[in-house]
Amino acid sequence: MSHAYEPRRCRRAACDRVAPARTPRRPVRTPARTPMRRMSVGRCGAPLLAGHRTPAEVHRLAQHMAEVLVGRRAPEVLRGHVTVPVREELRRLRGSMVCAMAPRLTRVFHQPLGEGGMEASAVIDCGGRARVFAFRLRREEGGWVCTRLETDRGRR
C-alpha cells in the first residue's frame, strides 16, 4: 500500500493566505512601535507646546553636573558654563550623591523663563535610588550658563 505525500494544512484562517514571494519581514505594530498621530491641541483644547524637547546643550550640561555631584568629574570642567557661586556649590556638593555606577539621566525637564532664560530639572538613576537636582540657566554669548543650583541635599 503506497501513500501519496500531502502537506498538512493549518486550520487557522490566517495561514490560508498566500504571501508574495519576497515580502520583507516587518515587526508587528505595537503601541510602543506605532508612531503617535500629530495633535494640534492637547487636553482641554490647549495648544501643544512648540519645541517641547530639552535642548541638547542643556541635556549635556545636566549630565556633566550629575557627574560632578556623584564625584566622577571635577567642577572646574564646567568653568565656562556655571557662575562662580554655583561652581563653589558644586565643589561643596561633589561626591555627595552616592552612586555605584556612572550617573545616568533618566529625565530632563525644562521650562522657558522669558527671553534668554530657562529652568531645568534632572533625575539621576543611581542604581536602586533616584536623585534629583534643578538649575536655572541664562543665555550668554551663544551658550547656556547655570546661575542657580538646587539639589535634594542643599540649595544655592
Closest by Cα among 68, 48, 52 to 109: 52
Give ∠ CA 38-42-43 in degrees, rounded to 5. Answer: 140
25-18-14-3 Cα dihedral, nearest 10 degrees: -120
Answer with the residue of higher pLDDT: 20 or 140: 140
Question: If you average pLDDT over residues 100-117, what whole number do you get?
Answer: 86
Please provide the average confidence, as pLDDT, over all residues in the chain: 79
Express each pLDDT in 10-67 by its tens digit.
Answer: 666 555 555 555 667 776 666 655 555 555 555 565 555 555 678 889 999 999 999 9
- The residues spanned by each domain of the chain are 56-151
Residue 7: pLDDT over 50: yes
Q: For residue 102, name the pLDDT band (cuts at 50, 70, 90).
A: confident
Question: If you average pLDDT over residues 94-113, what whole number do you get?
Answer: 85
In this predicted structure, what is the pLDDT of residue 32?
59
- Of these ranges, 1-5, 12-16, 133-137, the one predicted with the greatest mean pLDDT is 133-137
Looking at 10-19, 78-87, 132-141, which range is the least confident one? 10-19
In this predicted structure, what is the pLDDT of residue 156?
44
In this predicted structure, what is the pLDDT of residue 5?
67
Question: If you average pLDDT over residues 113-141, what whole number do you get?
Answer: 89
Question: If you average pLDDT over residues 130-134, what whole number do you get?
Answer: 90
pTM, 2 dp: 0.64
CB 35 within 8 A of CB 28: no
| Host H or E run for residue 67 | helix 56-69
Does CATH place domain 56-151 in 3.90.120.10?
Answer: no
